[in-house]
Amino acid sequence: MELCVRASSLLLGLLLQLLSSVDVVSAAQKFGINYGQIANNLPDPTQVAGLLQSLNVNKVKLYDADPKVLMAFANTGVEFIIAIGNENLQSMAGNPGAARQWVTQHVQPFLPATRITCITVGNEVFSGNDTGMMASLLPAMKAIYAAVGELGLGGQVTVSSAHSVNVLATSFPPSSGAFREDLAQYIQPLLDFHGQTNSPFLINAYPFFAYKASPGSVSLSYVLFEPNPGVRDPNTNLSYDNMLYAQIDAVYAAMKAMGHTDIGVRISETGWPSKGDEDEAGATVENAAAYNGNLMQRIAMNQGTPLKPNVPIDVFVFALFNEDMKPGPTSERNYGLFYPNGSPVYAINTGAGGVSGRTGPFDPYSAQMFSSASRLAMTSGMGVVVLLGALFL
């Protein structure tokens, strides 16, 4: 109950800010949250279920298939994306029986009480250099897809995999988006699979990394969805006022170059850290609140990208809690919207007011404006993505 009370006090203030400017119901429908557990101080899953229900969160993404979490959310109506770790890909690729056993053990027992709607097979597999794992990804996905069908769950559960934006070799201008040549042999058949199964292509995108890499040449307003001059794609004449949308459209362009216009793009991770090391420019509470708040406002408006204006963006925010045991720089442990005790890390600023004195020179045609995040995207799985829009119901 303590978690719910603290969350509710935060919600009251935020709700008053939002009622006059955004459609909170739309926000709830489009935002999801990553629920990571790389920490030693997180509340019990039953408490988390209560917290998210009090926030009207209805979409959650896990990095595993934790039975305690799935049981805790039974009969709540929350939709779950669950995951198969990279370490399991090669065994499943070569043994369809192993895939069926996994689905039998980690999916079937929890349906229909817990709404499992998607299984992600592997996370950012193409970000490493393990070609054996890369070659195993699609066969493992096909094995899981077959198992889901054989068990009569095909109408309920889709199969996909999450990728870092560094699968793109070119991302500016967005219309010139292209996948890396060294990955083409893996991505082309992967896209064919998505087209055949009507499943989404999942991307983990973090504009924060572009700003962190070059704060002097990347506009902070541009990456935070705040007022800025924007950039224009010379090939399509489409205008972009934020990096995330440009990255999404670059993925669409890359898929089109491989013959696919029939696959949707879903942002499986995005977020901004509230704290970082001295060399992590932009990792502040103020910027985290601005990024997540402004993004929530865009999603609540059912806004699409310039290339796909009629296709509302589907986003899972990273993350629900700060995770104190994550390795790497300080920012890795500070993406949460909440501390483990249920208190908010910051109050989300839903306005898109300009911020003066915080932006570097705006160079829209710098390659880093669109591709730094791709090159520097995290290669480790990030645990939790929050249904931000639901925070305001």
Give the span between the Cα atoms of 393 and 1, in whole angstroms: 18
Give the span between the Cα atoms of 56 and 341, in whole angstroms: 19
Strand partners, 164: 204
Count other C-beta atoms under 10 Å from residue 43's C-beta: 17
**Which strand (E) or helix (H) includes residue 61?**
strand 59-61
Residue 286 falls in the annotated catalytic set: no
User: Hey, what amino acid is at 14?
Assistant: L
Mention every residue, 6+ apart, whose C-beta is less than 8 A from residue 115: 77, 78, 79, 80
Mention every residue, 6+ apart, whose C-beta is less than 8 A from residue 57: 28, 33, 78, 386, 387, 390, 391
Tokens found for residue 33:
């949250």
| Per annotation, catalytic residue among 124, 226, 280, 323 | 124
| Per annotation, catalytic residue among 79, 269, 280, 323 | 269
Find the angle CA(321)-CA(65)-CA(150) to the nearest 5 degrees.
150
Q: How far is CA 183 from CA 129, 164, 199, 204, 307, in A?
A: 11, 13, 20, 17, 25
**Which strand (E) or helix (H) includes residue 83?**
strand 79-84
Q: What is the largest CA-CA distance in the chain?
A: 59
Mention every residue, 6+ apart, whose C-beta is less than 8 A from residue 346: 274, 285, 288, 289, 337
Residue 124 falls in the annotated catalytic set: yes
User: Hey, what amino acid is at 132?
Assistant: G
Residues with a known catalytic role: 124, 269
